[in-house]
Amino acid sequence: MNTNTIRLHRVLRSSPERIYNAFLTPAAMSKWLPPNGYTCTVHEMDAKEGGSYRMSFTDIGTGHGHSFGGVYRELKPGALLRYTATFDDPNLPGEMQTTVTLTAVECGTEVHIVQEGVPAVIPATSCYLGWQQSLVLLGLLVEQ
């Protein structure tokens, strides 16, 4: 199965702990994660290593959505998140893994994100665009 890997880098004017918490707080995830034109519902979040999550995105124009969930593989407060994601839609096969690395720098936090195993049916450019939109919203939420 062909897949894509997405790599992103940002520097946010925020502490690593604040950004880390934005990835593990359901209300925060609902606010910043969905790309433009979508809403997000977090159905379940057990934010611990081995814990799972489930959420869905809904297109506000069409009402269509997709749901997905995964497992937290590695969590190091203020430093690292590694989690999986699998879509419920059989047309979006496979398991993705996202790794978020947070490093304190003089003006805030350097954020590196690597998302591996993105189904080839999702164009890499669309995935980059969605992440870029989400990261703008993350900055608005966490920056001080």
Q: What is the pLDDT of residue 14?
A: 98
pTM of the complete model:
0.95
Q: Do strands 3-12 and 108-119 pair parallel, antiparallel, or not at all (unpaired)?
A: antiparallel
pLDDT surpassing 70 at residue 1:
no
- pLDDT-derived band at 8, boundaries 50, 70, 90: very high
> Which pLDDT tens digit goes with each residue over 23-75?
999 999 999 999 999 999 999 999 999 999 999 999 999 999 999 999 999 99
Q: What is the pLDDT of residue 30?
A: 97
Amino acid at 118: V
Mean pLDDT of the chain: 96
- Domain borders along the chain are 3-142
Q: What is the pLDDT of residue 144?
A: 83
pLDDT surpassing 80 at residue 124:
yes
Q: How far is CA 51 from the centre of its chain?
A: 16
DSSP 8-class letter at 126: H
Q: Which two tokens stand for residue 80?
A: 């690292």
Instruction: Name 9's bridge partners.
Output: 112
- CATH 3.30.530.20 assigned to domain 3-142? The reply is yes
Residue 120: how many CB atoms within 10 A of its CB?
12
Q: Which residue has the higher pLDDT, 91 or 6?
A: 6
Q: What is the pLDDT of residue 23?
A: 98
